[in-house]
Structure 1
Amino acid sequence: MSTIKGEMIKGNEAIAEAAIRAGARFYAGYPITPSSEIMEYMSWRMQEVGGDFVQAESEIAGINMIIGGASCGVRSITASSGPGISLKQEGMTTLSDEELPAVVVNVVRYGNGIGTLLSAQCDYHRETRGGGNGDYRCIVLCPSSVQEAADLTVEAFYLAEKYRMVSVLMTEGALGQMMEPCVLPEMQTPKRFSWGFDGKYTNKKIGIFDRDSMKEAVALNEKYNRVKETEQRWESQHIEDADYVFVAYGMPGRATIGAVAQLRAQGHKVGFIRPITAWPFPEKAFEKVNPEVKGYISIEANATGQLVDDIALTVMRRGKQAGHVKAAPPVYCNPHVYGVPSVREIMEDYTKVLSGDLKEVY
């Protein structure tokens, strides 16, 4: 693999190479558009570095193999999209229950059921709430460029192991397929973690018997509260004097930054918050927003609006914490169904808010 700095590389391939360089030595999965390049890349690259690659017979088999790799203390990764990620949910709950770190890449595509092949952001609720049974959360990272996708892949492994959790890299079809310059991370020496199975070690949490679930619940909440306090990540600008604040992540977040720049140049007091972690949601980003802000505008690529719910919850909570007696500022959303909304479309959303044509959701 070339080590040229800043080389042009496709998003999916940057994620795969970054995982290799982060020390991942096991990949198991099943192909599905628009994530298949990750698997194809791993099929030859993993062999080069002495790792193991398995094309499983199904998504369910793939995630269960990841449980095996993670149990052995090996950095393990899988990737899929849409219905494939849905099929992996039970395995992700098992990883979460047994506190086994792993990285799951979701290259999001649009639609219900088997969906379509179009780039979208319609999996936000599932990934941020935990899409399977039980009380659990996954750390969810949302890149907006090929470079950030590579960087966050390395970070995903670090966070997964720091908290013994599943990290989800929630990217999008458009980002997975596009090419940009990317400085790939340095190669790390793979390591096998001491808590992995070695013929002697037994994970006492496996199974449903002889466990103090109430005690485990207390520890679980303590861990999740620690993650929420210390791992919120975001990018923001112009929020201290903003009349309106745009909130968007991923590729729409990238377009929103361009829209805000143009609107500011025209004299409009607008700012943006771009969540980099969807969970934990970056509530702290809202602390510096102009207290007289007139409203928030959620920009997202889905049919119903999902990110808008977390924005509204955060705005309401912030008001209560500050003891505000006035009503929370309105939160608007004009979902862009699928694809990446253009700068022009985002600016049109703002115009609709000012004219009253776009009504608040909350």
Structure 2
Amino acid sequence: MAEKILMKGNEAIGEAAIVAGCQYYFGYPITPQSELIEYMARRMPQVNGVFLQAESEVAAINMVYGAAGAGARVMTSSSSPGISLKQEGISYIAGAELPCVIVNIMRGGPGLGSIQPGQCDYFQATKGGGHGDYHNIVLAPNSVQEMVDMTIRAFDLADKYRNPVMLLGDGAIGQMMEPVELEPSNISPAAKPWAITGMRGRSEPNIVNSLYLQPDALERHNIRLQAKYKMIKENETLYAATNTEDAELILVAYGITSRIAQTVMARARAEGMKIGLVRPVTLWPFPVEPFARLAHEASGFLVLELSAGQMVEDVRLAVNGVKPVEHYGRLGGMIPSPKEILAVVKKIMEGKGGKENG
């Protein structure tokens, strides 16, 4: 077992990427993920990797496109408005079926918003964000150790499906320090016969492209992409459920909010309330199955987010009207206390209804 070391979440992502065989990093500084780009600036040259601070987020994502097209393991990172600037390039990368890892350490919005933690980029991450019918695989860690584990997993998933993978963390997880285990790297990424590496040994050139001028050709490409997304849904959907077997009310949360929800659940159960928790680990594909099943067992759901209500829409779709789904959110970088949420839980359990906040 590897020795545990104390690391900040942002820096742990960087080291995990190196463990995963990341060869190139392109980025641009923005709070609250600036420690990640600083860490990669120091570490990538030490492992014979390439670090480049691009002139903009737009430039950075297009550098990712180029490195991914050449078959490299490549990563970029930013925070909310910076990810917005990358959206066109992310759509190109998804359309060209190129693997890469994109890190978003979310802050409050809209606009420049604040440098405080937020979860208001859920729609952007899970519903595409850029143009066209495409999906990123979206992983949502709730600890620094999960930052490490999911970063490594993200590179493997990206290569497996030739698809962008987004690590969606909030500013609190990015900034907190916790002990983590990092196994030494023995990873040798698999060969990528589709990559643009020259004509040596080939009779025909490889082509990496997302442009299809003929509508029938573009339709065939989209149909193939949708088949891939269906396969991802079938094979890669993850969630964590706690105390749901006898729960009357199910809390739903991800990231830092799920850690607060764990405390709320423990306090509520200590007071005799049957409260459970479902934490989506993949935000896309969203874990529909547990909500559809629990809708026939629990009395209702309470979705907790640092937003005006985004993931709550996916929960309501999964529950499909069978049971009530209520929402409690804080905005602008405000983080609710366990006491605050517990008061909402008590109102629901008393039949008074929860507060629709935001």
* Equivalent residue in structure 2 for 1:71, among 69, 78, 81: 69
TM-score (norm 1): 0.92
* Equivalent residue in structure 1 for 2:249, among 244, 252, 258: 244
Q: Counterpart in 1 of 2:202?
A: none
Contact 2:138-2:284 at 8 Å conserved across structures: yes
- Of stretches 115-124 and 193-202 in structure 1, the one that deviates more from structure 2 is 193-202
Contact 2:295-2:323 at 8 Å conserved across structures: no
Q: Counterpart in 1 of 2:326?
A: 332
Deviations 1:275-309 (A, max 9, x none): 1100000112225526242110001112x111110
Q: Distance in 2 between matches of 1:87 and 1:351?
A: 42
Pairwise CA distance, 1:199: 1.5
Contact 1:232-1:284 at 8 Å conserved across structures: no
Q: Distance in 2 between matches of 1:277 and 1:268?
A: 28
Q: Counterpart in 2 of 1:198?
A: 197
Pairwise CA distance, 1:196: 1.7
Contact 2:212-2:218 at 8 Å conserved across structures: no
Q: Counterpart in 1 of 2:168?
A: 170
Q: Distance in 2 between matches of 1:274 and 1:202?
A: 41
Counterpart mapping for 1:72-221 below 5 A: 72-191=70-189, 193-200=192-199, 201-203=205-207, 205-209=209-213, 212-221=217-226
Q: Distance in 2 between matches of 1:241 and 1:70?
A: 47
Pairwise CA distance, 1:208: 2.9
Pairwise CA distance, 1:218: 1.6
- Of stretches 12-21 and 211-220 in structure 1, the one that deviates more from structure 2 is 211-220
Deviations 1:165-220 (A, max 9, x none): 10000001111111000001331344453322112242254433367112112211
* Equivalent residue in structure 2 for 1:346, among 322, 330, 341: 341
* Equivalent residue in structure 1 for 2:40, among 39, 42, 52: 42
Q: Distance in 1 between matches of 2:116 and 2:107?
A: 5
Q: Distance in 2 between matches of 1:358 and 1:237?
A: 21
Contact 1:63-1:88 at 8 Å conserved across structures: yes
Counterpart mapping for 1:46-61 below 5 A: 46-61=44-59
- Of stretches 206-215 and 23-32 in structure 1, the one that deviates more from structure 2 is 206-215
- Of stretches 18-27 and 202-211 in structure 1, the one that deviates more from structure 2 is 202-211
> Is 2:266 the partner of 1:267?
no
Q: Distance in 2 between matches of 1:306 and 1:272?
A: 18
Pairwise CA distance, 1:88: 0.3
Contact 1:241-1:290 at 8 Å conserved across structures: no
Q: Counterpart in 1 of 2:319?
A: 315
Amino acid across the alignment from 2:239: W
Pairwise CA distance, 1:95: 0.5
* Equivalent residue in structure 2 for 1:289, among 273, 291, 294: 294
For the residue of structure 1 that corresponds to 2:329, the secondary structure is: coil
Amino acid across the alignment from 1:194: P
Amino acid across the alignment from 1:140: V
Q: Percent sequence identity over matched residues?
A: 43
Counterpart mapping for 1:2-13 below 5 A: 5-13=3-11
For the residue of structure 1 that corresponds to 2:104, the secondary structure is: strand
Amino acid across the alignment from 1:270: I
Q: Distance in 2 between matches of 1:286 and 1:240?
A: 13
Q: Distance in 2 between matches of 1:276 and 1:339?
A: 23
TM-score (norm 2): 0.93
Deviations 1:52-103 (A, max 9, x none): 1110000000000000110010000000001100000001001000000000
Pairwise CA distance, 1:122: 0.6
Stretches of structure 1 lacking an aligned partner (at least 5 in a row): 317-326
Q: Distance in 1 between matches of 2:244 and 2:206?
A: 50
Amino acid across the alignment from 1:350: V
Q: Distance in 1 between matches of 2:208 and 2:162?
A: 15
